[in-house]
Structure formats: C-alpha cells, structure tokens
Amino acid sequence: MRITELIRISFRALTANKRRSLLTMLGIVIGITSVVTIMALGNGIKAATLKNLQTDQSGQQTAEITFLPESSTASTAGFKEDDVDLAYQTAPDKIKKVTIKHEKERLQLNGQLANQDTMLSATLVTSMPKVQLAAGNKLTTDSLQTDGHDVLLSKKLAKKVFYGNAAALTSSIFIGKRSYNIVGIFNTPKASYSALDVDVLIPEKAYTAGQLNPGGQKLAITFQRGSDISQLANAIVRQLKKSGTERRNGSYQYFDYGELLKGIGNVISGLTLFGGAIAGISLLIAGVGVMNMMYISASERSQEIGIRMAVGATPAEIMKQFLLESVMLTLTGGVVGLVLGGLIAWMITAFLPFKPVITLGSIIGTFAISSIVGIVFGILPAKSAANKNLIDILKS
C-alpha cells in the first residue's frame, strides 16, 4: 500500500472520533509547550548574559589590558600614548578604538602624611561628594574645577595619624609631585565597598596635574564586531611585553573571559536542559494516553481490520497504519505545542529585559521527540492490531 493511501486512511480514522483525538493530543501539546517555553527562555537568558559580558553599554566588543607594577610603591605611568599607538598597530583593521583608562575610585596611592610614608586609598571627585563633614569646610567650586590643592581627609585616618580633627586641619598630604591642604574631615559611609569609603577625597583635576607620570593602569580596546577578542587581546599583550613603555617596571595582563563565558554558558544550558527534562515528564504521561487511545481504537475497529485482512492486507500493513496514526497524533500535538510555546515565551519576556530564543535545534527536537513518543507508545497497540486473528474476528 502506498504511503499516501496510508496517510489518508490514518487521517480518516483519527477524525472519526475528533473529541477523543483532541483530548489525547492535549497531553502532547501541554508537554511540548512546557519544554519549548523553558528552552526559549533559557536560551534567551544565555544569549543576553553572554552578550552583556562580551560588550559594553553601547553594544561594542571591548577588552581591558591591565599594567601591574613590580612594586606597590612604584611611581609608574602604566600606559602612555606610545602604548596606544602600539596596540592599534597590532591589528588596525580589527581595532576600532584604543584609550587609556584612568581609575577614579578606591585608588591605592603612595604618599606622605605627618612626615611619614603612607599607603592611602583615594577617590577622585568632580563635584562635592555626598559625605557628612565632621570638621572643617567642604570642597569649593574653584578647588573642584581648577588644579587646586584642597582635599578631604577621613575622620578615621585623622584620628589614627593626628589624634584628632584640629591637628589634621592644619596639616597637608604629599602625593605625587604636589602637596595638598586638608580643608575638611569627613565621616566615611557605613556601606562597605563604597567609592567614598576611602582615606582621601581628591579633586580629579588637581590629582591629574600633580602626577609625576601622567598615564593610566588600564588600556581599554574597542574591537570591530565579529572580532576574536581573546586572540587579538593576547596579541596586543605580547607586543606590549616586547615594546611597551613600562615593560621593565611591571607586567601586562589580560584576563581572558573566553573560558569564563564558556563556563557560564554551560551552566545556563545545563539548567535549561534540566528544566526542560522536568517539563518533559508530562510527555511520558501523554504517551501513556496515546497508547491507551490506540488500544481502544484497535479494539473498536476489529471488523475494519478483519475486512482489510480478508481483501489481502498483510499484518505489516495493519501495523504501519496504526503506527502512522499514533505518530500523526503526536506530531500534530508537537507542532501546536511549538507554536504555543513560542507565543507564551514572547508574552513572558514582554515584562523581562531579554527576548526568547527558539533555535533550530529546538524545532528539530520538537519534531524528533513527538515522533519518538508516537512510535514508542504506538508500537504495542499497532502490534496488537496486526496480530489479530482473521478467524477470531469473523467468529465475533
């Protein structure tokens, strides 16, 4: 019997009892919808997470190379304009922009306080920071907008070094090549790791003007879209180690996010598959429903099977017909579930900061799983129908 004839007969058999077929198919629809929704959301989260880690706020692919001085008290520039040119020349067709990045928060500086060398933590400010003054005056507009000499000292450090606020306000700090006047004492915020939880608050312009070696400790590189960031960044590091301006005073380092991103992607994929597997349990229940329906159908259609056998149909053809009915039922449920799952995922992400991703693998998987469920749970009823004895059917 031709396949088209088998499909026509199977379709007619399924539509003969529409309500039973639809209710049986409903289990498949619910199972596939659950799996597709979870997979689409999981893939969307993975894509959004990896994109955000690989790009900056404007969507550009970026990387940072850090200069690590040999000594914590070394007064090195880190990166200079010559290093910018060197980095750009490494791959001019792949690099969009190279800039020296100046850290502004929680800097570790070597300075002198009360005639003693001291390591200080400092944050650079461009406006009056939101701190509570314990003594003295706040930073004026002139000291913030010009390369002045005024700074604020933390109350904790003033108490430790000067044993009080009054003595601290008559003293100064020496950082870089200039001396700064302590004009105010501030209370550090209670929040841990705050940018204001430091020893000194220095106006940015004043600090830049007082640097012995103007430069920065990080090199920010923006690449053209589609570039291999890891390969290019490591090539730039090799060039800097060979010809960098401060290569003799420290080392250059690039943290390769490739392995980190790969690990994060694997974790998210694993969680997505785990969630999909749990949702897929409903497919097993739906498969039992399909098996039950096909057994009932085979029992009810004994006369039809007998007539077909009497006119020459072989057991293999009877088996193919019932197996095809089972697969058609589950495949139809799979297609409906795929569409519903995609729609539900889009509706959910309307309130979330990412979009669902339905991959080709998800689509192929839907058809594969639906077919497998139809075959596995339809094979026994199909064998039962094919093994019916023609004599017993005629007797009944």
CA–CA dist 286, 372 (Å, integer): 12
Q: Tell me, what DSSP letter sits at residue 216?
A: B
- Which amino acid is residue 283, in one-letter code? L
The pTM assigned to this predicted structure is 0.55
374 with 56: CB under 8 angstroms? no
- Look at 73 and 285; give whichever has higher pLDDT: 285
Confidence (pLDDT) at 73: 45
Q: Is 298 helix (H, G, I), strand (E, B) or coil?
A: helix
**Is pLDDT at 216 greater than 60 in this prediction?**
yes
- Look at 340 and 217; give whichever has higher pLDDT: 340
Of the candidate ranges 100-109, 128-137, 228-237, 356-365, the one whose mean pLDDT is the lowest: 100-109
Average pLDDT for the chain? 82
Q: Is 212 helix (H, G, I), strand (E, B) or coil?
A: coil
CA–CA dist 311, 288 (Å, integer): 32
**Is pLDDT at 56 greater than 60 in this prediction?**
no
Contact partners, residue 309, CB within 8 Å, separation at least 6: 315, 318, 388, 390, 393
**Is pLDDT at 186 greater than 90 in this prediction?**
yes
Q: Is 107 helix (H, G, I), strand (E, B) or coil?
A: strand
* Residue pLDDT, tens place only, 235-289: 888 888 888 888 888 888 887 666 666 777 778 778 777 877 777 788 888 888 8
Angle at alpha carbon of residue 307, lines to 302 and 310, rounded to 5°: 125
Q: Is 115 helix (H, G, I), strand (E, B) or coil?
A: coil
**Is pLDDT at 10 greater than 60 in this prediction?**
yes
- Which amino acid is residue 72, in one-letter code? S
CA–CA dist 66, 214 (Å, integer): 16
* Residue pLDDT, tens place only, 139-185: 888 888 877 889 999 998 988 888 888 888 988 888 877 889 999 99
CA 90 from chain center: how many Å? 30
Residue that has been written with the tokens 């302590």 in this structure: 182
* Residue pLDDT, tens place only, 221-246: 888 777 777 788 888 888 888 888 88
Task: Classify residue 302 by burial, with Cβ atoms within 10 Å: 0-12, 13-18, 19+.
Answer: middle
Confidence (pLDDT) at 316: 85
What is the number of other CB atoms lying within 10 angstroms of the CB of residue 108? 13
Contact partners, residue 87, CB within 8 Å, separation at least 6: 65, 95, 98, 219, 221, 236, 239, 240
Confidence (pLDDT) at 153: 92
